[in-house]
Chain A
Amino acid sequence: MVSVLERDSELRQRAWNAAASVVDPEIPVLTIADLGVLREVALDGDDVEVAITPTYSGCPAMNMIALEIELALERAGFRRPKVRTVLSPAWTTDWISEEGRCKLRACGIAPPQPSNSRRAVFGEQAVACPQCGSDKTELLSEFGSTPCKALWRCKACREPFDYFKCH
């Protein structure tokens, strides 16, 4: 016979797994767990509340992500799941997991550099080409196909590529 504690812990894990399976609609190789957008899953009896944090203030993917989380939880058997947005601490690209970085590189997007100093935001950046690995690259546009990406070009293999900018 399982105790209430064990049952809660198992339920919570099931809820976390369901929420963690949701992918970013604009970068579908990444789950919201890879991104660090999924912050917390709380259980109160059988009610579940998920806390997520927005990447960029105006990122249109956030509404979609909230909806997808609700759907995923309902499919996993949770009734009336709630999604809450937390602003603080502010999301940073440092929260993208190592696995997430590998997935980004594998689909041709250069992963963000660590943002431990503001120099990374203001100073010179060296971004390695996700196709050929060369560091002879140049910035084409600070703003790319989505709010989180910049457009770069590799001078070695001549391929343009997306760079997930550090934030």
Chain B
Amino acid sequence: MSCANIQVSETPLVLYTLRRADDALILGHRLSEWCGHAPMLEEDMALSNIALDLIGQARELYSYAAKVEGKDNDEDKFAYLRDVRQYRNLLLVEQPNGDFAQTLVRQFFYSAFADLYWRAMMSSRDTTLAAIAAKSEKESAYHLRHASEWIIRLGDGTDESHRRAQGAIDHLWAFTGEMFSVDDGERALIQAGIAIDPASLRARWLTTLSDVAGEATLELPRNEWMQQGGRFGRHSEHLGHLLSELQSMQRTFPGLTW
């Protein structure tokens, strides 16, 4: 019996896969926090459905990371037995739900990126990653449409909803740069045709954002300073609180099964 953190051999491909898996798990967990609290029943179902999709994507990616690593780890150990600094997700996805506008702006920034990313990854030379991408891309298309509709409704809605949506955009903007940066290990995987170069997606991502923001009468910030750290395990204070809830059962009763 032990609830110590697992050790992970972070070869470039394991690390690459874990980063994508952590994004999906943490954002999925955040959305699940809305279950039973959303402003209306349809939205409660929508956010829970999107959470399910994301957690499903995370499971497939974690299982693949475990297979590539070839040690004793599995999807559950990756999720439940790594500490904050072992998590590799974007700072964006761990940001608190805030109000409804903040949740939807976070979702919009991420989904606009994920939709392009999965579509590109469908032609990865790694057949498992390509297969996971082909499934995820169908889901992210729905997620993006859902978020875009809400951004327009909030931005072009009342003074209050406009103010909150613009505030969320201004607040979360500095967390978007991290989506487009890569380190040397990832650069090598990109050159090998396995990973996707996110920089090649940035122009299209910005077009999606400005199209929707334009219709929503919202403005995208001009500041270019971006916060970094999540990909290397340097997180905001919020992730620890999130993990304390996500991991509480396994930390309290190690090895517990249903």
* Cβ contact within 8 Å between B57 and A54: no
B57 partner, pick from A57, A88, A122, A143, beta carbons under 8 A: A57
- Chain A residues in 8 Å Cβ range of B204: none
The answer to whether B46 and A56 have CB atoms under 8 Å apart is no
Give every chain B residue within 8 A of A145 (Cβ-Cβ): 45
A27 within 8 Å of B (CB atoms) = no
B24 CB to nearest chain A CB (Å): 9
Listed stretches B96-104, B136-144, B207-215; interface member:
B136-144
Q: Roughly how many angstroms separate A167 CA and B43 CA in the complex, as a whole number?
A: 21
**A residues 51-68 with Cβ under 8 Å of B?**
54, 56-60
A91 CA to B138 CA, complexed, in Å? 10
For chain A, the count of residues having a C-beta within 8 Å of the partner chain is 24
- The contact of A142 among B51, B55, B146, by CB within 8 Å, is B146
Does B42 sit within 8 A of A, measured CB to CB? yes
Whether A57 lies near B59 (C-beta < 8 A) is yes
In Å, the complex CA distance between A143 and B41 comes to 10
Q: In whole Å, how far is A65's beta carbon from the nearest beta carbon of chain B?
A: 14
* Contact pattern, A 86-127, Cβ under 8 Å of B = 1, otherwise 0: 011111000000000000000000000000001001100000
B52 touches A87 (CB 8 A): no
Residue with the greatest number of chain B CB neighbours at <10 A, chosen from A57, A118, A151? A57
Q: Does B60 belong to the interface (CB within 8 Å)?
A: yes
Chain A residues contacting B50 (CB-CB under 8 Å) are 143
Other-chain contact of B130, A88, A118, A140, A144 (Cβ < 8 Å): A88
User: Given that A59-B56, A121-B141 are known contacts, is A54 also in contact with B45, CB under 8 Å in the complex?
Assistant: no
Choose one: A59, A88, A142; the contact of B127 (CB below 8 Å).
Answer: A88
* Residue of B49, B57, B131 touching A147 (CB-CB under 8 A): B49
A58 near B134 with CB under 8 A, answer no
Known contacts A56-B139, A88-B134, A167-B138; is A140 also within 8 Å of B42 by CB? yes
Most buried by A among B52, B55, B59, B146: B52
Q: Is A141 an interface residue (CB 8 A)?
A: yes
Interface residues of B, count at CB 8 A: 31
With both chains docked as a complex, state the minimum distance between the C-beta of B142 and any C-beta of chain A, in angstroms.
Answer: 6
Q: Are B42 and A151 in contact (CB under 8 A)?
A: yes
Residues of A within 8 A of B145 (CB): 122, 142
Neighbour of A87 across the interface among B51, B132, B141, CB < 8 A: B132
A141-B55 in contact given A57-B135, A87-B132, A90-B134 (Cβ < 8 Å): no
The answer to whether B54 has its CB under 8 Å from any CB of chain A is yes
Does B23 interact with chain A (Cβ within 8 Å)? no
Q: Which of B45, B54, B141 contacts A143 (CB 8 A)?
A: B45
Q: Which residue of A lies closest to B144 (CB)?
A: A122
A residues at B contact (CB < 8 Å): 54, 56-60, 87-91, 118, 121-122, 140-145, 147, 151, 165, 167
Instruction: Give the top 7 A-B pairs by smallest Cβ distance, nearest first.
Output: A58-B56, A57-B56, A58-B52, A88-B131, A141-B42, A87-B131, A143-B46
List 4 other contacts, CB 8 Å, given A57-B139, A58-B54, A90-B134: A58-B51, A87-B60, A87-B135, A143-B42
